[in-house]
Amino acid sequence: MLRLATSEAGFAKAFARLVADRRESDDDVARDVSLILGEVRQRGDEALAEYTARFDHYQLTAEADWLITAEQCRAACDALDPELRAALELAASRIRAYHEAQRPADRDATDAAGVRLGARWRAVDAAGLYVPGGRAAYPSSLLMNAIPARVAGVDRLVVVTPTPHGQVNPLVLAAAHIAGVDEIWRVGGAQAVAALAYGTARIRPVDVVTGPGNAWVAEAKRQLYGVVGIDMVAGPSEILVIADGRNDPDWIAADLLSQAEHDPSAQSILITDDPVFADVVADRVAVQAAMLATKTVASASWNTHGVIIEVASLDEAPALANALAAEHVQLAVDEPEGLMNEIRHAGSVFLGRLTPEAVGDYVAGPNHVLPTGRRARFASGLSVLDFMKRTSFISLDQAALQAIGPAAVALAHAEGLPAHAQSVELRLK
């Protein structure tokens, strides 16, 4: 774990290294993914079956081996413990309500020149949703991806998820039933993303691919952008907690570990103005990590990528947070609004001591698919808009054409495009 203090002479250099540390895939991953994509594009289902046997130790032989049916999803939902089913349904209802408020409105108006201008929003025809199934299976991720797509109006929702040794998480199936997924294919990794983008004999292609995955999945999405739309290229999880010394150190330690347990490459950072509190939190992280079922992953993440930054005043924290542009920023202070107003770059912000980031992962409502690796400087979390596109329209009558057409002719001639100019001039005459 790295310990920094803004008062130290070497802080600026050390902090710059921290900001620049990407913790993402290397050139070897890019080469491997490129090969996989090429194989799936050329050989389709045959390549999918080979990669699934190799990486997931699962044989895609009979037709029934490929698809998880709607009946299986319904049965998994019906078999859930009532309390757990109620929790999934609560999460789904809150996610749906939040995202319904994101639906954009069409525009249609006539301006002062008499030109009718507007835009119509339409959903994509089909969306592919990647649901991890390796290190952990996350029904919450399925809800966070599928529900905004449904709210957007997507007709066909396709899930791909790896099933190592043929094992399927019943919670994922139950979430698929609640969200109304149309197809679930038992394939994962970069090869599954390729199948969604290019299509195979069995799997029809989609228009957008969303959802978190490992480095190979992220790299596949990066390489396939343009063939399909994507939500973002996501890297390892990250959390930045800004906390004063009046917090319960066990709470803050648990918050830091909530992201550390995702992946050995995940990063948890604490900024505090209380050195003694920092010491206690560091101690409590070690104690709590040792008791977690995920202790191997969480400890590797904290020991390798964890950071504590001591500041003279929390007034210094927003500038540091903006440079880090973290996926999750938690403001564990009495009056968080002032700090939030100064934070310009963050995937999602959690206000106050009683708002742990983990609530946002499940039941708060906003999407938990968020930009990582400083991409919050220019990107936002997954939303309804990721499954929609806007088409503008223009309508002119003769008066409107006379009002603005001559300017178009002048600009077309200035750009050396006489056919452009003529297409307007002929109508003006």
In this structure, is residue 420 part of a structural domain? Answer: yes
40 and 18 part of one domain: no
Q: Which of 183, 210, 230 is the C-terminal boundary of a domain?
A: 230
15 and 32 part of one domain: no
128 and 270 part of one domain: no
Rounded Cα distance, 33 and 197, in Å: 14
In this structure, is residue 373 part of a structural domain? Answer: no
12 and 139 part of one domain: no
129 and 50 part of one domain: yes
182 and 302 part of one domain: no
In this structure, is residue 351 part of a structural domain? Answer: yes
11 and 135 part of one domain: no
In this structure, is residue 371 part of a structural domain? Answer: no
258 and 351 part of one domain: yes
173 and 119 part of one domain: yes
Domain count along the chain: 3
Q: Which of 349, 364, 379 is the C-terminal boundary of a domain?
A: 364
pLDDT value of position 92: 98
Domain extent at residue 266: 2-22+235-364
- The pLDDT tens digits along the chain (429 residues) read 899 999 999 999 999 999 998 777 677 899 999 999 999 999 999 999 999 999 999 999 988 899 999 999 999 999 999 999 999 999 999 999 999 999 999 999 999 999 999 999 999 999 999 998 855 678 999 999 999 999 999 999 999 999 999 998 899 999 999 999 999 999 999 999 999 999 999 999 999 999 988 889 999 999 999 999 999 988 899 999 999 999 999 999 999 999 999 999 999 999 999 999 999 999 999 999 999 999 999 999 999 999 999 999 999 999 999 999 999 999 999 999 999 999 999 999 999 999 999 999 999 999 999 999 999 999 999 999 999 999 999 999 999 999 999 999 999 999 999 999 999 999 998
pLDDT value of position 138: 87
In this structure, is residue 401 part of a structural domain? Answer: yes
Question: HEC profile for the chain?
Answer: CEEEECCCCCHHHHHHHHHHCCCCCCHHHHHHHHHHHHHHHHHCHHHHHHHHHHHHCCCCCCHHHCEECHHHHHHHHHCCCHHHHHHHHHHHHHHHHHHHCCCCCCEEEECCCCCEEEEEEEECCEEEEECCCCCCCCHHHHHHHHHHHHHHCCCEEEEECCCHHHCCCHHHHHHHHHHCCCEEECCCHHHHHHHHHHCCCCCCCCCEEECCCCHHHHHHHHHHECCEEECCCCCCCEEEEEECCCCCHHHHHHHHHHHHCCCCCCEEEEEECCHHHHHHHHHHHHHHHHHCCCHHHHHHHHHHHCEEEECCCHHHHHHHHHHHCCCEEEEECCCHHHHHHHCCCCCEEEECCCCCHHHHHHCCCCCCCCCCCCHHHCCCCCCHHHHEEEEEEEECCHHHHHHHHHHHHHHHHHCCCHHHHHHHHHHHC
In this structure, is residue 127 part of a structural domain? Answer: yes
401 and 350 part of one domain: no
- Side-chain-facing half-sphere of 164: CA atoms under 13 Å: 8
pLDDT value of position 25: 65
| CATH of residue 290 | 3.40.50.1980
- Catalytic residue positions? 327-328
108 and 224 part of one domain: yes
In this structure, is residue 283 part of a structural domain? Answer: yes
Q: Which of 173, 205, 230 is the C-terminal boundary of a domain?
A: 230
In this structure, is residue 377 part of a structural domain? Answer: no
6 and 33 part of one domain: no
How far is residue 6 from each of residues 241, 313, 377, measured CA to CA in Å? 16, 10, 23
